[in-house]
Amino acid sequence: MAKIRLTLWILVGLALLGVAALQIMRPGKPESLNLTNANENNQRYSAPFELTAHTGQRFSSDSLDGRFRLMYFGYSFCPDVCPIDLAKITAALKTLESDGIDTDLIQPIFVSIDPERDTPEAMADYVNLFHPRLLGLTGSLEEVDALAKRFGVYYKKIPQSDGSDYLMDHLVVIFLMDQKGNYVRLFTNRDSADSIASALKPLLTTGR
């Protein structure tokens, strides 16, 4: 575990320093999400859901009302992409905060698609590595699967031939939802932390 944690920290550090450079090295992932359909502001995204937070308490999406959501599906055992993307979300929010902008109106959320290993305790340890307000959500296989399907998030368990722990292949996009949970846009591996910060800034600085 110590080795895994060290590796994570190194990855987080690298990502914070050079997210843009790392994007080039990122392995290709299937993008099964239908991007043309992702533009719909419909029930698919905004319908309420319940999961279990990294605190161990049950979580209702109703508690997000009034806040924008940055939502990412992945798993805490992910060796490469998840830590980079979560570090990117963290870096985007920190960039805004260092400019004196209050980011409380944006809730960053990490939803596990590997709930068998991602217990609330595992999620709590993991989200601690990133933004202090990052919310980890996990649940039963059925709960997680239902939410991932609704968002069009592909994921698949990949057994390792050497018998070691499995990996999860999964869609890697960051969803931005409005204060009612309606879909706004996606960020992909082509978006840097700075470009995400630029996209979020108007949400936090206009009409307040």
Closer Cβ to Ni ion, 187 or 203, answer by number: 187
Q: In 3D, which of 89, 120, 54 has the Cα closest to residue 189?
A: 89
Q: What's the closest the beta carbon of residue 48 comes to Ni ion, in angstroms?
A: 26
Q: Which residue is nearest to Ni ion (CB)?
A: 78
Q: Give least dist CB 27 to Ni ion, A.
A: 11
**Which of the residues 68 through 97 are near Ni ion (CB under 5 A)?**
74, 78, 81-82
**x-or-dash pattern for Ni ion, window 24-63, by CB under 5 A?**
----------------------------------------
- Cβ nearer to Ni ion, comparing 156 with 185: 156
* CB 141, min distance to Ni ion, A: 18
127 part of the interface to Ni ion, by CB under 5 A: no
Instruction: Give me the torsion for CA of 186, 191, 197, 200, rounded to 10°.
Output: -20
Q: Where along the sequence are the contacts to Ni ion (CB under 5 A)?
A: 74, 78, 81-82
